[in-house]
């Protein structure tokens, strides 16, 4: 009889097998030239872009989150836009030379990367992580969210086959199919793994940071958007509603609460309503708050990435059929006000504050309640206000006069295009950047001597020759002893 293994054991064994196979493939791939590497990654980007629509539909159908056409756009961004941003980056051989300083820098891969991917953006995250990993001549093994295994496996297959057709070794890109917590832990801690690149919920990120490997993790993003009295109000309203409704708000940089400067708050409400925002009354807000969150404050999975109409049905309330975003008035932040939390669905909070200083304080309060280090958006024309927000806010992405969702990932700004947005030390991470190829590339340095040794050589006293101990001479003087020795030597020579 053949042995039957339970799911956890199968998952652990698969993790070990994929990690070792990836390590073997990466050792071969590490010797690829820049031209060979770029040929492989370009083929992958093209294959991902061509499959963007189909993968978007697969992700929506499997997870139930978001909008297929919006997922298509994210897949196109994660393939073509990401590739265009890293295409000219040197990662193999000599990548920089500074003759004035006598330093030559040589690109070196990290090794095997573990890619943890979320259910909210499964296909786009795999496309993006595959490209930035292989551009630096790494291998990558994905551990997908259990609710997004099929679309994750298909995305990985597309990227792996494209890489192999372009000359990459088999096993360089892989994805676990038997998902369990023990299996994912085995993969993260495996001896063949060099680094973890984690995108997902807080528990996943904590596990990545506890695995005993270097890890880039992403914290939650309770993103405030401040609208100043100096802002272009119609444009701000357009950006906010379209950003929050994009893919039903499953990107972690989407707006979570509007903080409106009181003199323009009424106008902002009207403009937002014109674009499909529906302001709910207190009873509806309370019903949404009860339905959206678990007791620990995290979103119930079934409400993530849903339309206002779906949320209304789940919550037992009525909303218009043309509503694109539900907006609730709030006046405080904290556990007693659940809609002040991060909401990975089409619900926004709305605060009114008098002046930018009060608005600043409210934004800081929201970030501290669940978005430290992540993202903040500001709509304003007053440069002093914009700079004050840049200097004071505990967020490492402050996007100005653009949609937070698109601006933070680098779609409507010139930030590095990325689907992993790190939160720095204040958010529990080791980087505050949009994670891209340079974070997965090690650098060797040849450093030529430019200056002499700073300490002058000191003259050391010469050791004095050691005189032999006095020899017993039987009463002869030293001169007589020397004469006897000379005579004996002469006699010996004469006898030869």
For every residue of 55-77, DSSP letters joined together read: HHHHHHHHH--S-HHHHHHHHHI
The whole-angstrom separation of Cα 90 and Cα 47 is 22
The whole-angstrom separation of Cα 199 and Cα 399 is 21
How many Cβ atoms from other residues are within 10 Å of residue 146's Cβ? 11
Annotated catalytic residue within 22, 151, 175, 252:
252
Residue length of the chain: 496
The whole-angstrom separation of Cα 69 and Cα 60 is 10
Kind plus residue range of the DSSP H or E element containing 50: helix 34-50
The whole-angstrom separation of Cα 173 and Cα 474 is 93
The whole-angstrom separation of Cα 435 and Cα 280 is 37
Contact 122, 144 (CB under 8 A): yes
The whole-angstrom separation of Cα 174 and Cα 56 is 20
Question: In the numeric block, which tokens belong to residue 266?
Answer: 């009424």
* Look-up of token digits 């680094």: 195
Question: In the numeric block, which tokens belong to residue 280?
Answer: 């709910």
Contact 338, 292 (CB under 8 A): yes
Question: In the numeric block, which tokens belong to residue 93?
Answer: 């051989």
The whole-angstrom separation of Cα 199 and Cα 145 is 10
Q: What are phi and psi of 50, to 5 degrees?
A: -65, -25
The CA-atom distances, in angstroms, between 421 and each of 195, 211, 220 are: 17, 20, 10
Instruction: Give yes or no: 22 in active site.
Output: no
The CA-atom distances, in angstroms, between 340 and each of 313, 323, 347, 368, 378 are: 21, 20, 10, 11, 18
- The set of catalytic residues is 252
């Amino acid at each position: 009889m053949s042995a039957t293994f339970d799911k956890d054991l199968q998952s652990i064994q698969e993790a070990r097998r994929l990690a070792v196979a990836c390590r073997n493939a990466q050792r071969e791939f590490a010797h690829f030239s820049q031209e060979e590497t770029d040929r492989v990654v370009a083929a992958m980007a093209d294959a991902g872009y061509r499959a963007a629509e189909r993968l978007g539909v697969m992700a929506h159908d499997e997870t139930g989150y978001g909008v297929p056409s919006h997922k298509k756009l994210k897949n196109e961004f994660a393939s073509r836009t990401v590739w265009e941003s890293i295409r000219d980056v040197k990662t193999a051989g000599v990548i920089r030379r500074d003759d004035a300083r006598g330093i030559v820098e040589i690109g070196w891969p990290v090794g095997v990367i573990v890619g943890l991917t979320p259910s909210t953006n499964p296909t786009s995250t795999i496309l993006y992580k595959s490209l930035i990993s292989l551009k630096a001549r790494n291998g990558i093994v994905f551990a997908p969210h259990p609710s997004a295994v099929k679309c994750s496996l298909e995305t990985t297959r597309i990227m792996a086959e494209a890489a192999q057709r372009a000359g990459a070794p088999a096993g360089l890109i892989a994805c676990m199919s038997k998902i369990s917590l023990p299996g994912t832990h085995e993969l993260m801690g495996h001896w063949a793994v060099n680094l973890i690149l984690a995108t997902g919920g807080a528990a996943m990120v904590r596990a990545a940071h506890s695995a005993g490997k270097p890890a880039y993790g992403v914290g939650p993003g309770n993103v405030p958007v401040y609208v100043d009295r100096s802002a272009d109000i119609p444009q701000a309203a357009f950006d906010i509603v379209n950003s929050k409704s994009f893919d039903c708000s499953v990107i972690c940089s989407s707006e979570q609460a509007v903080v409106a400067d009181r003199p323009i708050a009424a106008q902002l409400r009207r403009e937002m309503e014109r674009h499909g925002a529906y302001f709910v009354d207190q009873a509806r807000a309370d019903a949404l708050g009860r339905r959206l969150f678990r007791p620990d404050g995290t979103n119930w999975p079934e409400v993530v990435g849903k339309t206002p109409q779906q949320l209304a049905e789940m919550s037992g309330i009525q909303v218009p059929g043309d509503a694109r975003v539900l907006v609730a008035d709030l006046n405080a932040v904290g556990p007693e006000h659940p809609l002040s939390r991060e909401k990975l669905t089409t619900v926004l909070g709305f605060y009114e504050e008098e002046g930018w200083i009060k608005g600043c304080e409210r934004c800081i309060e929201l970030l501290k309640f669940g978005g430290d280090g992540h993202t903040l958006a500001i709509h304003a024309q007053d440069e002093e206000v914009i700079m004050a927000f840049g200097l004071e806010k505990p967020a490492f992405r402050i996007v100005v006069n653009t949609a937070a969702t698109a601006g933070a990932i680098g779609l409507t700004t010139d930030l590095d295009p990325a689907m992993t947005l790190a939160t720095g030390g204040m958010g529990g991470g080791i980087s505050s950047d949009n994670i891209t190829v340079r974070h997965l590339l090690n650098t060797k340095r040849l450093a030529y001597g430019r200056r002499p040794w700073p300490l002058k050589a000191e003259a050391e006293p010469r050791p004095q020759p050691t005189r032999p101990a006095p020899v017993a001479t039987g009463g002869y003087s030293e001169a007589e002893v020397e004469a006897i020795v000379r005579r004996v030597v002469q006699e010996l020579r004469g006898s030869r």
